[in-house]
Structure 1
């Protein structure tokens, strides 16, 4: 399906690896110009090369710390200069957080989870809005998590931050409706991301086997999906790409679960 990305411009924050890179690949294959944002220059260079091979006519990796508003502002100012003061797509995929029960987490860990999981998105949207408003069409896609609907006692701070993403995104969809800028959320379930694979290694599970990975998730967290396996980053990318595309012409304020099936809506 032609998603209408030919000659479009897109920024994927956290696009150097995992679900962010999988999303960026979908945009690149459809002809989008893409900037992937992260902290590791080597990872971003490799990602930009891969996106060029996928078909992007202008792929670049840009290093920035989204915890620093000045860096974020400078980043988007440079993107505006590169692409004529316009931006069609902003995808925010970042948001790690410390694991631990409510009693175990310190104030600093709570604040870090909110800063990484929600405020980074806020800073990027704030800086990108003038460019998005200048474009003929624009979309924002923010990544949340299914743990906002299926709680884990080990992830209270991370989940709280992702709940902020949901609320802020809903508010943005209302604010930006007059500009016809659509804002939606993707909530991945148990996806074989770098973080999940690292955890699997600590419990002696072969992360390359998505069925074994889901069995371990069921055993340790009691959160199995209806499907008997974990998901893959490449199964998230097409969903996020559709929400970010011109083909998505009437969906805004939605939270789309991509979790292999669950007991919540």
Structure 2
């Protein structure tokens, strides 16, 4: 399907690896001009080189920490000069890494979860809005998690931060509707990301087998999907790419679960 990204511009925050890179690949294959924002230049450079091979004519990786609002403002200003002051799609995939029960989490861990999981997205949207408003069409896609709907006692801070993403995104969809800037959320389920594979290794499970990985998730968390396996990062990318695309012309304020089936909506 032609998503309408030919010569369009897109920024993927957290696009150097995982679900962010999987999304960026879909954009590149459709001809988008993609900028990846992350913390490690070597990782970003490797990813950008791959995107250029896939069809993104001038893909670039830019180092920035989502905790640094001044740096983000500088990054988007520089991209604005590169792209004639316009941005068609902003995809925010960065999330917190805090894990632990309510009683274990310190104040600093709570603050870090909110910083990485919600405030980083807020800063990116704030910096990108002038460029998005200048574009002929514009979309924002924020990554949340299905744990906001199916709680885990080990993810108290993580889930709270992602719930903030949901609420802020819904509010943004209302505020930006007059500008016809569409704002949507993707909520991945149990996806074989680096974080989940790291957890699997820590409990002695071969996470490269998505069926065994889902069995372990059921054993440890009681959160099996309807499908008998964990998802793959490449199964998230096409969904996020569609929401970020010109082809998506009337969906806004939605939260799309990509979780292999669940008992919530």
Unaligned runs of 5+ in 2: none
Shift of 1:58: 1.3
The answer on 1:85 being equivalent to 2:90 is no
Map of 1:54-203 to 2, 5 A cutoff? 54-203=54-203
Map of 1:234-245 to 2, 5 A cutoff? 234-245=234-245
Whole-angstrom CA distance in 2 between matches of 1:251 and 1:104: 39
For 2:121, what is the secondary structure of its paired residue? helix
TM-score (norm 1): 0.99
Whole-angstrom CA distance in 2 between matches of 1:94 and 1:23: 13
Q: Deviations over 1:193-231 (max 9, x none)?
A: 000001110111111100010000000011000000000
For 1:257, what is the secondary structure of its paired residue? strand
Q: State whether residues 97 and 157 of structure 1, in contact with CA within 8 Å, keep that contact through their aligned partners in structure 2.
A: no
Map of 1:21-60 to 2, 5 A cutoff? 21-60=21-60
Whole-angstrom CA distance in 2 between matches of 1:228 and 1:164: 30
Q: Deviations over 1:20-74 (max 9, x none)?
A: 0000000000000000010011100000001011111110000001101111111
For 1:249, what is the secondary structure of its paired residue? coil
Whole-angstrom CA distance in 2 between matches of 1:191 and 1:105: 24
Aligned length: 265
Q: Deviations over 1:243-265 (max 9, x none)?
A: 00111010000000000000000
Runs of 4+ aligned structure 1 residues displaced above 2 Å come to none
Whole-angstrom CA distance in 1 between matches of 2:65 and 2:247: 32
Whole-angstrom CA distance in 2 between matches of 1:118 and 1:46: 27
Whole-angstrom CA distance in 1 between matches of 2:50 and 2:215: 32
Whole-angstrom CA distance in 2 between matches of 1:98 and 1:24: 25
TM-score (norm 2): 0.99
